[in-house]
C-alpha cells in the first residue's frame, strides 16, 4: 500500500495526541494554570493536527462533513464521530484543570475512554480490510493501542511509561512476525484471483495497460521495501530501546521530552512500514505485490 | 446508506466467457466511450510520455500452463463484480457508495464522495479507480443508464461492454433468476466467482476456457511438403540443388 505521508502523520500524531488526552482525562497526570493549559494544549494540538492531516488525504474534502453519517457500517465514519466527541467532552475537564476549578473528573474519565476508543476505530479502518491480509488481524488494534497509550504516558510524564514502552516493542514484533506470513496464509494467488488455477499455473502474459494507473500507485506500492529490515531496526531502536534508555538515564522532565521525540520518530518509521509492507490482493492480477 | 440490503430480488451482473474473449479491448473502449459522457472519466497526460486514466473495465492477458500439454493464453476482462457482500460499500463513511436494493447494482454517488479511497482499498478486485481530476471514486455502473433507458432502441438496453464485444464474450442478465441466460450459461459451463474465500459473494461469473484440442505432433500439412516439383520449377530445383 502506498505510504502516504498525510495518513502516516495523521495516525501517529492523532494516536499520540489521543493517548495524552486519555492520560490527562483520567487525571493520571494533573497540572494547573499555565502548565495545565500547555499540557492539554499539546494533547489537543496533536489530535487536531493529525485529523487535519487526514483531510489532506481526501481528493474531494468539500464532502468531508458527510463522513459523520455512516456510523452504522463504517469504521472511518465512527472514527470521525468518536474523535469529535472526545474533543468536545474533554473540553470542560481541560478548562477545569487550566483554571483549577476542581470540576468532577467524570467528564475526564468518559472523554478518556472515548479517546482510546477513537484510536481503536482508527486501527479498525485497517484491520477490517480482508484484501490486505497483513492488516486483517487483531494484532493491528493491539499495535495501535500500545503506541497510543505509551506515547500518551511518555508525554504525560508518567514513570509507568518505562514499562508500557515494552508493550510497543512486543506489539511491533508480533505484528511483524504474524504479518510476514499473513499473505501466504490468506491463500490468495494469481490462480484464485483469476480462477484459472483449475487449469494450471498462471503467469502474466501481457499487462492490462502499458503505463500506470490508480491501482498501481495506491495499492501496488513495491518501492522501498528492500530497506524494510533496516527500517525495522530503526523503528524498534527509536520507538522502544532508545526512549527506554533515556527514561532510565536522564531525569524528568528532560528525559520524558527526549524520549517523546525519539519515540515519535520511531513511531513514524514503524507506521511507514505498516503501509509500505502491506500487500493488497489486487496486485495478484498484475503479478506484483 | 452504506449498510447492505439483506437480499435483492434481482442480481444483475455479467457472465464473462474466458473461452471466447480474444483480448481485443473493445469492451474497454466501449465502456470508456459510454461513460465518458457528462462528468466523464478523466485522463492525465493522455498523449504524453506518461499517460494515465480512469477506466471501469480492464482486460488482462495470462498464460496458463497445464501440467500436461501446451500453455494457453487466457484474456481476462476485469470490472466490478457487483458483490452481494460488497466490502467497498460498508466501509464508505459518507454514504456515497451503495448497493441498490432493487437490482443489486453497486454504485457511487459522486455528489457525496469525499475521495478518501477507502472503498478502493476494500475491493479485492481493483474495480474502483479514483478520478484524479474530479477527486471522486469511479466504478462500473453496470450501465444503469442504458439497461433501463427507454430512449434507446431495445437492442441497446444492455451494457456498452456487452454490446460492443465483437465475439459475444460478455453476457448481461439476472443471476437471481435461474432461468435467465446468464444463470443457465453459468450452470452449463461451470461459471466461477473470483477469490470466493474473501467472502464478498460476487454476482458476476467467469466461464472457464474450454479444453483445447490435443496438439498434433506433426503438422497436418506435412505430406504436402514432400511434393516433387515438375517442369521448369523441377529443372530449377535440380540445378540449384547441385550448386
Ligand atoms: S467488485 Fe469491488 S467494487 Fe465491485 S462490488 Fe465487489 S468489492 Fe465492490
Ligand atoms: S472514496 Fe468516496 S465512495 Fe469511496 S469510501 Fe470514500 S467517500 Fe465513499
Ligand atoms: S457494464 Fe458499463 S460501466 Fe460496467 S464495465 Fe461494462 S460498459 Fe463499463
A143-161 residue pLDDT tens: 999 999 999 999 999 999 9
Cβ-defined contacts of A256-259 (< 8 Å, 24+): A256/A154, A256/A155, A256/A157, A256/A161, A259/A154, A259/A161
What's the pTM?
Answer: 0.92
Q: Is B45 on the interface with A (CB under 8 A)?
A: no
Distance B20 CA to ligand 1 centre (A): 24
Question: What average pLDDT does the structure give for chain A?
Answer: 95
Distance A215 CA to ligand 2 centre (A): 15
- Identify the CA nearest to B127 among candidates B113, B136, B116, B137: B137
Cα–Cα distances in angstroms (integers) from residue B237 to residues A125, B221, B230, in the given order: 78, 21, 9
ipTM value for the complex: 0.94
Q: Is A66 on the interface with B (CB under 8 A)?
A: yes
**pLDDT at site A221:** 82
Cα–Cα distances in angstroms (integers) from residue A4 to residues A78, A272, A278, B33, in the given order: 22, 8, 13, 32
* Ligand 2 neighbour B119 (Cβ under 6 A): yes
Cα–Cα distances in angstroms (integers) from residue A142 to residues A130, A136, A169, A211, in the given order: 17, 12, 11, 39
The chain A residue lying nearest B117, using CA atoms, is: A58
CA angle B35–B41–B45, rounded 5-degree value: 140
Ligand nearest to the CA of B35: 3
CA A77 – CA A148 distance, rounded (Å)? 20
DSSP element (H, E) containing A136: none
A237-262 residue pLDDT tens: 999 999 999 999 999 889 999 999 99
**pLDDT at site A136:** 97
Distance A233 CA to ligand 3 centre (A): 47
Per the CB < 8 Å rule, is B193 touching A195? Answer: yes
Question: Both ends of chain A: CA-CA distance in Å?
Answer: 9
A51-107 residue pLDDT tens: 998 888 999 999 999 999 999 999 999 999 999 999 999 999 999 999 989 899 999
SS3 of B150, please? coil
Please report the residues numbered 152 through 191 in chain B whose beta carbons come closer than 8 angstroms to any beta carbon of chain A: none
Please report the residues numbered 195 through 214 in chain B whose beta carbons come closer than 8 angstroms to any beta carbon of chain A: 195, 197-199, 206, 208-209
What nine digits make up the cell of A161? 511509561
DSSP element (H, E) containing B237: helix B231-242
Residue ranges of the domains in chain A? 1-128, 156-289
What nine digits make up the cell of A58? 481526501
Residue ranges of the domains in chain B? 12-207
Most confident of A1-5, A7-11, B87-91: B87-91
* Ligand 2 neighbour B73 (Cβ under 6 A): no
Q: What is the CATH number of domain B12-207?
A: 3.30.70.20
By percentage, how much of chain A surpasses pLDDT 90? Answer: 89
CA B164 – CA A253 distance, rounded (Å)? 71
Mean pLDDT for back-to-back runs of 10 residues, chain B (243 residues): 89 97 97 93 94 97 93 96 98 97 97 97 98 97 97 96 97 97 98 97 97 67 68 80 80
Amino acid at each position: 500500500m502506498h505510504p502516504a505521508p498525510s495518513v502516516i502523520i495523521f495516525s501517529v500524531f492523532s494516536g499520540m495526541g489521543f493517548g495524552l488526552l486519555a492520560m490527562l482525562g483520567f487525571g493520571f497526570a494533573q497540572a494547573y494554570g499555565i502548565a495545565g493549559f500547555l499540557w492539554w494544549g499539546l494533547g489537543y494540538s496533536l489530535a487536531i493536527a493529525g485529523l487535519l492531516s487526514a483531510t489532506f488525504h481526501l481528493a474531494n474534502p468539500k464532502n468531508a462533513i458527510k463522513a459523520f453519517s455512516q456510523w452504522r457500517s463504517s469504521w472511518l465514519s465512527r472514527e470521525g464521530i468518536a474523535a469529535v466527541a472526545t474533543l468536545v467532552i474533554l473540553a470542560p475537564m481541560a478548562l477545569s484543570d487550566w483554571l483549577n476549578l476542581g470540576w468532577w473528573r467524570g467528564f475526564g474519565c468518559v472523554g478518556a475512554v472515548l479517546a482510546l476508543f477513537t484510536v481503536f476505530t482508527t486501527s479498525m479502518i485497517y484491520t477490517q480490510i480482508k484484501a490486505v491480509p497483513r492488516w486483517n488481524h487483531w494484532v493491528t488494534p493491539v499495535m495501535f493501542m500500545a503506541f497510543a497509550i505509551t506515547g500518551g504516558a511518555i508525554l504525560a510524564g508518567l514513570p509507568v511509561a518505562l514499562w508500557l514502552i515494552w508493550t510497543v516493542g512486543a506489539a511491533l514484533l508480533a505484528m511483524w512476525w504474524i504479518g510476514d506470513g499473513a499473505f501466504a496464509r490468506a491463500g490468495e494467488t494469481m490462480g484464485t484471483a483469476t480462477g484459472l488455477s483449475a487449469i494450471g499455473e498462471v503467469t502474466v502474459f501481457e499487462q492490462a495497460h502499458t503505463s500506470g494507473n490508480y491501482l498501481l500507485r495506491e495499492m501496488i506500492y513495491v518501492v522501498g521495501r528492500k530497506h524494510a529490515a533496516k527500517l525495522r531496526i530503526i523503528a524498534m531502536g527509536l520507538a522502544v530501546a532508545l526512549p527506554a534508555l533515556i527514561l532510565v538515564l536522564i531525569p524528568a522532565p528532560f528525559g520524558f521530552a527526549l524520549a517523546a521525540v525519539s519515540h515519535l520518530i520511531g513511531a513514524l518509521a514503524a507506521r511507514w512500514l505498516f503501509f509500505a509492507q502491506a500487500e493488497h490482493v489486487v496486485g495478484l492480477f498484475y503479478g506484483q505485490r | 446508506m452504506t449498510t447492505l440490503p439483506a437480499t435483492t430480488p434481482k442480481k444483475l451482473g455479467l457472465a464473462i466467457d474466458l473461452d471466447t474473449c480474444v483480448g481485443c479491448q473493445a469492451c474497454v473502449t466501449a465502456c470508456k466511450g459510454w461513460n465518458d459522457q457528462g462528468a466523464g472519466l478523466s485522463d492525465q497526460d493522455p498523449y504524453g510520455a506518461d499517460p494515465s486514466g480512469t477506466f471501469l473495465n480492464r482486460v488482462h492477458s495470462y498464460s496458463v500452463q497445464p501440467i500436461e500439454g501446451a500453455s494457453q493464453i487466457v484474456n481476462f476482462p476485469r470490472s466490478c463484480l457487483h458483490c452481494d457482500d460488497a466490502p467497498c460499500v460498508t466501509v464508505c463513511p459518507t454514504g456515497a457508495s451503495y448497493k441498490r436494493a432493487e437490482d443489486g447494482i453497486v454504485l457511487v454517488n459522486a455528489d457525496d464522495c469525499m475521495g478518501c479511497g477507502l472503498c478502493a482499498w476494500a475491493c479485492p478486485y481493483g474495480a474502483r479507480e479514483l478520478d484524479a481530476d474530479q477527486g471522486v471514486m469511479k466504478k462500473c455502473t453496470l450501465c444503469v443508464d442504458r439497461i433501463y433507458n427507454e430512449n434507446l432502441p431495445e437492442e441497446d438496453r444492455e451494457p456498452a461492454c456487452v454490446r460492443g464485444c465483437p465475439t459475444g464474450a460478455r453476457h448481461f442478465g439476472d443471476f437471481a433468476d435461474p432461468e435467465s441466460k446468464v444463470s443457465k450459461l453459468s450452470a452449463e459451463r461451470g461459471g466461477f466467482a473470483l477469490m470466493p474465500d474473501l467472502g464478498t459473494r460476487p454476482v458476476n461469473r467467469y466461464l472457464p476456457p474450454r479444453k483445447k484440442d490435443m496438439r498434433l505432433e506433426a503438422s497436418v500439412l506435412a505430406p504436402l511438403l514432400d511434393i516433387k516439383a515438375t517442369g521448369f520449377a523441377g529443372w530449377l530445383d535440380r540445378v540449384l540443388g547441385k550448386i
